[in-house]
Chain A
Amino acid sequence: MSQSKRMDILTLASLSLGLLTLGIGAFLAFTAPPATEQGHVYRIIFLHVPSAWVGMVSLFVAVAYSILYLARGKAHYDRMATAVIEVALLFLSLTLISGMLWGRPTWGVYWTWEPRLTTFAILLVVYIGYFVVRSAIEDPELRAKASAAISILGAINVPITYMSVKWWRSLHQTQTFDLTTGRSNFDPAMLPALLVNILALSLLFLAFVRIRGLLAERESAKQELSPQAG
């Protein structure tokens, strides 16, 4: 049996550091002051916003890998794009679930067909479709090209989803941190908890993607050794 690649130091470091930071982040999230309007329920923000930001930004990382694949044609880039999107889907599901659990006590409903929620639902369905298409195409090269196209086109929905609360009337409030104007409406005393949790989820994202990429690499190496077993 050939020497299989092992988890490298970067993966292990980001995994352990991510878990540690997540613990600190949880502590900060529960010790941050309550909010005047929402009381304690606003603390869901410390999970909802970091998972949303990391998940959404990573879709652009997937675009970069997809473009690299189309330009260079190396299977590695295809595997990495898929790994990024797979973990992003996990994080965005966390955004969805935490958002629904937050919506019920504040808005009064788990779900409503308002612009932010609808554009986000479309985003999720597109990236679920990414995996359906992958599983349907057997030719590796065609599969990689088709999924690169979905990854690049699907990311158009990321800025649309981000801007949806401004472009259309929505139930979802506008951005607390508005990247288009640079303005924010967040108490500085709550900021450390948010930043630490963003760091924690970013580190965990990096670790998960690297582990997923390694698994995909081993899978394809195994399939090359014994094609009929694949």
Chain B
Amino acid sequence: MKPKHIIGIVVVVGALAYLIFGGLGRNLVYFYTPSECLQNQATCQSRQVRLGGLVKAGTVNYDKDTLDLRFVVTDGVSEFPVQAKGTPPALFGENRGVVVEGRFQEGTFVSTNLLVKHSEGYQAPKEGYTPEQIRKLIEEAK
């Protein structure tokens, strides 16, 4: 084997080891839910973590001048106030999924990175519903 082949194999094996033991091992639990953070304060509240949940409706407060973003992340049971800085992604909004990276400071989650988790659904906008269609939709939803 030539040296370049040995280097190549070392690079590939090293990359795999890094991905499996570093990347995957640490991220099998990619984010904690607010309920988990409430229960395991030791693991969640004392270090850098990801917190995931839904943006609670009516809690979003964004200051366009200072770029301060405040909202509440919830999983329906527990919730935490979140403080972030900067313009969020366009898909950020109430009742939408969000994953924030950062750590707790005095009960508030201070986010250094805000990610939006969107749904797997792709639907065209519906225009001009007839009353019959709306009734049908309501009946189907039951």
Contact A107 B89 (CB under 8 A): yes
> B28 to chain A: which residues have CB within 8 Å?
115, 168
Q: Complex formed: what's the CA distance from A169 to B5 in Å?
A: 37
Q: Complex formed: what's the CA distance from A176 to B116 in Å?
A: 17
Interface string of A174-215 (1 = CB under 8 A from B): 111000000001110110000000000000000000000000
Contact B123 A35 (CB under 8 A): yes
Contact B90 A105 (CB under 8 A): yes
Contact B9 A132 (CB under 8 A): yes
> B113 to chain A: which residues have CB within 8 Å?
108-109
Interface residues of B in 81-134 (CB under 8 A from A): 88-92, 99, 113-125
Q: Complex formed: what's the CA distance from A119 to B27 in Å?
A: 11
Contact A185 B120 (CB under 8 A): yes
Contact A107 B16 (CB under 8 A): no
Q: Which of A108, A132, A170, A186 contacts B122 (CB 8 A)?
A: A186
Contact B117 A107 (CB under 8 A): yes
Contacts known (A114-B30, A115-B24, A125-B19); A187 close to B122, Cβ less than 8 A: yes
> A114 to chain B: which residues have CB within 8 Å?
27, 30
Contact A136 B9 (CB under 8 A): yes
> B5 to chain A: which residues have CB within 8 Å?
132, 135-136
Q: Is the interface of B mostly helix, strand, loop or mixed?
A: mixed
Q: Complex formed: what's the CA distance from A38 to B15 in Å?
A: 34
Interface string of A39-75 (1 = CB under 8 A from B): 0001001000000000000000000000000000000
> B58 to chain A: which residues have CB within 8 Å?
none
Q: Complex formed: what's the CA distance from A115 to B23 in Å?
A: 9
Q: Which of A105, A171, A185 contacts B115 (CB 8 A)?
A: A171
> B92 to chain A: which residues have CB within 8 Å?
108
Q: Which of B11, B115, B121 contacts A107 (CB 8 A)?
A: B115
> B2 to chain A: which residues have CB within 8 Å?
136
Contacts known (A132-B8, A187-B123); A37 close to B118, Cβ less than 8 A: yes
Expressed in whole angstroms, the minimum distance between the Cβ of B91 and any Cβ of chain A is 5
Any B CB within 8 A of the CB of A36: yes
Any B CB within 8 A of the CB of A153: no
> B19 to chain A: which residues have CB within 8 Å?
118, 121-122, 125
Q: Which has the most chain A C-beta neighbours within 10 Å: B52, B90, B92, B121?
A: B121
> A122 to chain B: which residues have CB within 8 Å?
16, 19-20, 24
Q: Complex formed: what's the CA distance from A42 to B123 in Å?
A: 10
Q: Which of B8, B29, B117, B120 contacts A175 (CB 8 A)?
A: B120
Q: Complex formed: what's the CA distance from A109 to B114 in Å?
A: 9
Expressed in whole angstroms, the minimum distance between the Cβ of B26 and any Cβ of chain A is 7
Interface residues of A in 100-140 (CB under 8 A from B): 105-109, 112-115, 118-119, 121-122, 125-126, 128-129, 132-133, 135-136
> B62 to chain A: which residues have CB within 8 Å?
none
Interface residues of B in 23-74 (CB under 8 A from A): 23-24, 26-31, 52
Extra 20 A-B pairs, beta carbons < 8 Å, given A108-B115, A132-B11, A171-B117: A38-B91, A38-B122, A107-B116, A108-B89, A109-B115, A114-B27, A115-B24, A118-B23, A118-B24, A129-B9, A132-B12, A136-B1, A168-B28, A168-B29, A170-B30, A171-B99, A171-B115, A176-B122, A185-B119, A187-B123
A interface residue numbers (CB < 8 A to B) = 32-38, 42, 45, 105-109, 112-115, 118-119, 121-122, 125-126, 128-129, 132-133, 135-136, 168-171, 173-176, 185-187, 189-190
**4 nearest CB pairs, A to B:** A136-B5, A33-B124, A108-B89, A129-B12
